[in-house]
Amino acid sequence: MTDAVRSILWRRLDRPGHEAARVSRAGAGWRLDGAAVFAHEGAACSLAYDIACDEAWRTVSCRVTGFLGAARVDVDVRVDGAGRWRVNGVECAAVAGAVDIDLNWSPSTNLLPIRRLGLAVGAAATVTAAWLRFPSFALEPLAQSYRRLAPGAYRYESGGGRFTADLEVDAAGLVTRYPGFCEAEGASAP
């Protein structure tokens, strides 16, 4: 991906909902922003996110705003150069050293390790992500592995292999099909 803006629209498969996201250059780094609207336990949920990454696709910050039913959501995540993560100003030592943010309600953040790792077909890597859980919005460590199966396919595993999914991605690294979770309905050309 060069300096082009890439956008995508996903339809949720696990519950009613949609999400739109875009990835673009932001100075020397990258920006991933989007919005998800979906139903959760009978309540409407609307979550907008804005993620900043450095030139190597390492997470620098993430802001999530919106609502879940009657509750407002406003989460500000920051990472310093030493790998210390803060949520709304409070250090979260459990995820120290993690490189990627993972929004557990969104397929968008699979892009970050896919782009950062740049795996060749057949290669695999294990990472620990700072996993922003839904609906608690707590930040927890999550061990993940990615194996590139083909130019547009990755096997994703988390929880020590308790969860596995074969992801289809476009040329930019955005997920186009995540079995049982979402699939792309529209995208812009890079």
Listed by start position, the domains of the chain span 6-187
Q: Is 170 helix (H, G, I), strand (E, B) or coil?
A: coil
| Contact (CB, 8 A) for 15 and 29 | no
Tell me how far apart the alpha carbons of residues 22 and 108 are, in angstroms, rounded to a whole number. Answer: 9
Q: What pLDDT does 160 receive? A: 87
Question: Within the chain, where are the H helices?
Answer: 111-117
pLDDT tens string 100-109? 999 999 999 9
Confidence of residue 1 (pLDDT cuts 50, 70, 90): very low
Tell me how far apart the alpha carbons of residues 164 and 145 are, in angstroms, rounded to a whole number. Answer: 9
pLDDT above 90 for 190:
no
% of the chain surpassing 70 pLDDT:
96
pLDDT tens string 53-95? 999 999 999 999 999 999 999 999 999 999 999 999 999 999 9
Backbone angles phi, psi at 152, to 5 degrees: -115, 30
Tell if the pTM clears 0.85, that is, is over it: yes
The rounded mean pLDDT for the chain is: 95
| Contact (CB, 8 A) for 148 and 121 | yes
Beta bridge partners, 76, equal 63
pLDDT above 90 for 96:
yes
Q: What pLDDT does 76 receive? A: 98
Report the pLDDT averaged over residues 115-120: 98
pLDDT above 70 for 44:
yes
Q: What pLDDT does 188 receive? A: 60
- CA 21 to chain CA centroid, Å, is 10
Look at the block and give the residue holding tokens 């999550």.
142
pLDDT above 90 for 159:
no
Q: What pLDDT does 4 receive? A: 78
pLDDT tens string 121-156? 999 999 999 999 999 999 999 999 999 999 999 999
Tell me how far apart the alpha carbons of residues 84 and 172 are, in angstroms, rounded to a whole number. Answer: 28
Tell me how far apart the alpha carbons of residues 127 and 29 are, in angstroms, rounded to a whole number. Answer: 21
Tell me how far apart the alpha carbons of residues 21 and 124 are, in angstroms, rounded to a whole number. Answer: 26
